Amino acid sequence: MSHTTELNVSKKPRASQTQNMQIAYQNKDIISKIFTEGFGHRSLEAYGIKVPQIVELLPTNFPAIEANELRIDNLLLLEDGTIAIIDYESEYKDKDKIKYLGYLIRVLQKQWMPEEKPPALRMIVIYTADVTEKQVDQFLNAGAVKMTIDAAYLSELDPGQIWANLVSKIDCRQILSEKEIMQFIIFPLTYKTKEEKKKALKKAISLAKRIEDRDTARFIISGLTVFCDKIIDQETANDVRRWVEMTQVGRLFEEEKEKAIKEAVKNAEDRAASAEDRAATAEDRAEKAEAKLREYERKYGKLA
């Protein structure tokens, strides 16, 4: 989602403010990392976008040409080798296409390698429930400049049906399908008003916490946070941060415990093998001693 940052140069932030900002960015980085790691090999078909599956998220930290230039939300490498830019809009403005052209140019500048063909690009715009297909013109034709947008309209999704299905699956402890996971992370944006979106986000996060598979739960909650960053309030953001930290610590503990168990089993197996080797060696020595005794008695007679 696109953001414009207002700078206040008249005052320097207090140390506590600077520390809070650093913590906020660190937490956002952690959540973005979880989302990025889980986003590969998924499909956008749940949003009505028929493009090849995602291979991976690409970095979007391009150098800005202008100070007020907007940051690209998501950059995806797809299975067919094309690169897709994703933007999210809650309203349609025809002149947004100029912004999209800027995105495409920046990606070309970064991804077009010397002596190679330019990469094939896709411009995907996901419109929240505030926008319908009738409002959107997907094409730009300005003579030498032409562009086609792949548009998704969340207004065509039924939030009531999605929610009922998710609750039913989680209540029954059933595994969510890929389509259901992708619908889950976009669920709040299927509502029109900001208040409805906020309410839906909070209940979606609460429901996601009930998912038994912690990796799936972490991906969904990180996805909700990333997709809904325009509407998430500080209280909800802090709640997500605490939950992510807690589950990350729990995950590390489980990984360390599993590692310790594997090491203990291996050590036990090594000790058992060593004991078997020692027993075999002792048995071998006894057999050799007995053979020598039989040889002696054959030559010299039995010992008294």
Neighbours of 169 (CB within 10 A): 16
Is 298 a residue whose pLDDT tops 90?
Answer: no
What are the pLDDT digits (tens) for 2-57?
443 333 333 444 444 444 434 344 445 566 677 777 777 889 999 989 899 999 88
Give CA angle at 42 (36, 48), nearest 5°.
Answer: 115
Q: Which of 124-138, 248-262, 281-295 has the lowest mean pLDDT?
A: 248-262
Percentage of the chain lying above the pLDDT 90 cut:
45
State the pLDDT at residue 236: 83
Is 232 a residue whose pLDDT tops 90?
Answer: no
State the pLDDT at residue 273: 63
- Rounded mean pLDDT, 81-108: 93
State the pLDDT at residue 210: 94
Say how many CA atoms lie within 13 Å of 52 toward its Cβ.
13
Query: What CATH number has the domain spanning 40-156?
Result: 3.40.1350
Tell how far CA 204 is from the center of its chain.
17
Tell if the pTM clears 0.85, that is, is over it: no
149 close to 125: Cβ distance less than 8 angstroms? yes
131 close to 153: Cβ distance less than 8 angstroms? yes
In this structure, is the dihedral angle defined by the CA atoms of residues 292, 296, 298 and 301, taken in order, positive or negative? negative
Q: Which of 5-19, 106-120, 182-196, 210-224 has the lowest mean pLDDT?
A: 5-19
Is 212 a residue whose pLDDT tops 60?
Answer: yes
What are the pLDDT digits (tens) for 154-196?
999 999 999 999 999 999 999 999 999 999 999 999 999 999 9
Is 292 a residue whose pLDDT tops 90?
Answer: no
